[in-house]
Amino acid sequence: MSKNLSELSGRKGLQHNLFEALQKTATEKGTPSVEEMDKLADEFLMGKANVYGAATFYDFLKPENAGKKVYVCNGSACLTAGTQQQLTAQLQTCFSGNEIGNMCCLGRCHENSAFHYNGVNYSGKDIERLPEILQGTVQLSDTYHVSASGAGLLTAPFKDVAAFYQIWREALTKTPHTLLEELKISGLRGRGGAGFPIAFKLEVCRNTHGRQKFIVCNADEGDPGAYSDRYLLEERPHLVLLGMMLAGYMAGAGWGVLYIRAEYPQSVSVIEQEIAKLEQLGLLGDNILHSGFNFHFKVIKAQGAYICGEETALLSSIEGQRPEVRVRPPYPTQQGLFNRPTVVNNVETLACVPYIIANGGKAFAGIGRGKSTGTKLLSLDGFFNRPGLYEVDMGTPLQEVVYELGLGFRTPVKALHIGGPLGGLVPVHKIPDLTVDFESFAQNGFLLGHASVVCLPQDFPVIQYLEHLFEFTAHESCGKCFPCRLGSVRGFELLNQARTSGYRIDKTLFADLVETMEIGSLCALGGGLPLPVKNALQYFEKELETFFNYE
């Protein structure tokens, strides 16, 4: 990442950024032309190669996207459900092969058969109404079960907007320091996987000199199987928006940026509508409620790149650079978006902030277990008898989630992939050993992460699933570091060859490859993939032994 490029990108300001300019040029054909990219390079004083390299990285901007009319979800949940082959065949009755692309993931993991057409997502039995969808004569939306066991902070019924923002009015009468202290007491940790305390980030940002600071909501964490972000953005948007506003006040930031997945089109439109309401109510803008504090929102739609769930790649993306992971230090809180102090947190983390400020840090810290305070959202996929979104207190037995909330499995399942592609592969016999908190999962060799649950049915080969994970990583790698870029491709090739041709993988060689990725990768994409691979080799050795040479 070049500091100079960040400065050049920021010279026009957040409102006119290179990333969105590239999107606009791609609106008609699905990809920007070389001539249009050259003009943008001149306008932003960037190298033509830089602009071309950035644009051609994204699934929905690269030249291969030209002419695409419909997209099929290729996420892990839809893969293991086995719905997409038939879905594609049905789409091919109306579209040519060149007109069908892929998206990962559409957040319809509770019912699968997911596809995207004309800016709208569909799933379940929607494909049966394809002629009406194509004619634009029907509007369909999904429904999924939502409930809570325990405190239920994020799924609680929502008050009207005016009443809810009394929290904001009262917060502006207090000092940022006072609010930060409550956040520290709460023990709120990042819900995206790392579990890093949000109060520490905000304090560092506040104490870092800068004429402009940003709060960035990372709504591009596209873990297949997870639809908790989508729920919050669409059903509880003001928890997220107020969380960002409060974070901005505590950190001294004047801008809140929501970087939302293009795969969640409804989330983008809902957030934009609710921001407009806040502006009409005078709760945003300059000198808010005569407090002297200024805060504005900017919504940016991502363009299909899983790596942008990594905070530094996300910041490079907004700047119009190729979304490569940055070497740290410096950290974003010191040198982030356009080289300005920036705090990046995921959707669920920010959504917890209003409760803490309204009820005090002790109230939040009193929920949960140990250092894992508060509640956690879990997404259960279509293999459960009652799939849906569940909120539980941290420390809740996983067994309760699976068998009491999800009502167990509708077909035999041998493993749960929890926490996204980089999360742990949990064999069903380990379910009684786990509780929903960071420590329990880490102590047992797994990762809680987003707490998405993708089931691996009894008849789905583990080697095919591992091949899928390596292929996913190879496709999504930013390419900056060799262990991830090369290791993911080589791992896919080995597994594919073993599965399809009788080739036996040298186990020592494979272990070296996995270890190199784990310790040598710059970020959690290449560094995290080894976790489910190791879990599979440990717990499914008997199933995998025919594909490996153990001598």
Q: C-alpha distances in angstroms, 269 versus 181, 262, 264, 265, 277? A: 34, 11, 9, 7, 13
Q: Coil, strand or helix: which one is 214?
A: strand
Residue 33 belongs to domain with CATH number = 1.10.10
The residue assigned the tokens 């970087």 is 259
pTM above 0.75, yes or no: yes
Interatomic CA distance for residues 317 and 169, integer angstroms: 34
pLDDT of residue 523: 94
Residue 149 lies in a domain: no
Q: What's the confidence (pLDDT) of residue 2?
A: 66
Amino acid, res. 55 = A
Does residue 478 contact residue 324 with C-beta atoms inside 8 Å?
A: yes
Range of the structural domain that residue 523 is part of:
462-549
Query: Is residue 152 a part of any domain in this protein?
Result: no
d(CA 20, CA 39): 14
**pLDDT tens across 268-286, in order?**
999 999 999 999 999 999 9
In angstroms, the CA 31 to CA 52 distance is 11
Q: Are 201 and 97 within one domain?
A: no
Residue type, 430: K
Residues 294 and 259 in one domain: yes
Give yes or no: residues 339 and 412 share one domain: no
Domain membership of residue 279 (yes or no) is: yes
Domain count, the chain: 5
Cα separation of 420 and 529, whole Å?
Answer: 10
Q: Are 54 and 319 in contact (CB under 8 A)?
A: no
Last residue of a domain, one of 323, 344, 362: 362
Half-sphere exposure at residue 527, Cβ-oriented, CA atoms within 13 angstroms: 11
Beta strand ranges found along 313-459 (DSSP E): 342-346, 368-369, 372-373, 375-380, 388-393, 413-418, 424-427, 452-457
Please answer whether residues 522 and 480 qualify as being in contact, where contact means their C-beta atoms are separated by less than 8 angstroms: yes
CATH of the domain at 403: 3.10.20.600
Helices (H), 228-382: 228-235, 237-251, 265-280, 311-318, 347-359, 361-365
Residues 59 and 75 occupy one common structural domain: no
Q: Is the peptide bond before 329 cis (omega within 30 degrees of 0)?
A: yes
Q: Is residue 130 part of a domain?
A: yes
Residue-level pLDDT at 273: 98
Closest Cα partner for 318 from 43, 36, 17?
17
Which has the closest alpha carbon to 456: 418, 419, 403?
Answer: 418
Let me know whether 474 and 449 are in one domain. Answer: no
Which region holds residue 181: left if phi is over 0, alpha if psi is between -120 and 50, else beta? Answer: alpha
Per residue in 341-366, pLDDT (tens digit) is 999 999 999 999 999 999 999 999 99
User: Of 313, 336, 362, which residue is a domain's last?
Assistant: 362
Query: Domain check: are 308 and 180 in the same one?
Result: yes
Number of Cα atoms under 13 Å in the Cβ half of residue 281:
16
CATH classification of the domain holding 524: 1.20.1440.230
Which pLDDT score is estimated for 406? 98
What is the predicted pLDDT for the residue at 194? Answer: 72
Q: According to DSSP H, which parts of 437-481 are helical?
A: 438-443, 462-476
What is the Cα–Cα distance from 261 to 253, expressed in whole angstroms?
23
Q: Quick check: is 150 in a domain?
A: no
C-alpha dist (Å) from residue 5 to 18, 73, 256, 425: 11, 34, 22, 40
On whether both 209 and 355 belong to a single domain, the answer is yes
Which residues have a Cβ under 8 Å from the Cβ of 128 and sit 6 or more positions away? Answer: none
Instruction: Note whether 374 and 432 are same-domain residues.
Output: yes
- Asked, for residue 174, whether it belongs to a domain, the answer is yes
Residue type present at position 515: E
Separation CA 469–CA 450 (nearest Å): 17
Do 209 and 331 lie in one domain? The reply is: yes
Together in a domain, 525 and 444? no
Q: Is residue 417 part of a domain?
A: yes
Q: Which pLDDT score, from 0 to 100, does residue 1 have?
A: 47
Do 228 and 286 sit in the same domain of this protein? yes
- Looking at 143, 176, 206, the residue that finishes a domain is 143
Domain membership of residue 151 (yes or no) is: no
- Same domain membership, residue 467 and residue 444: no
Q: Which of 360, 322, 309 is nearest to 6 (CA)?
A: 322
Residue type, 149: S
Give CA 186 to chain center in angstroms: 24
Assign 506 to helix, strand or coil: strand
Helix-, strand-, coil-residue percentages of the chain, each rounded to 5: 50, 15, 35
Task: Give me the residues of the chain with pLDDT under 50, please.
Answer: 1
CATH code (residue 220): 3.40.50.11540
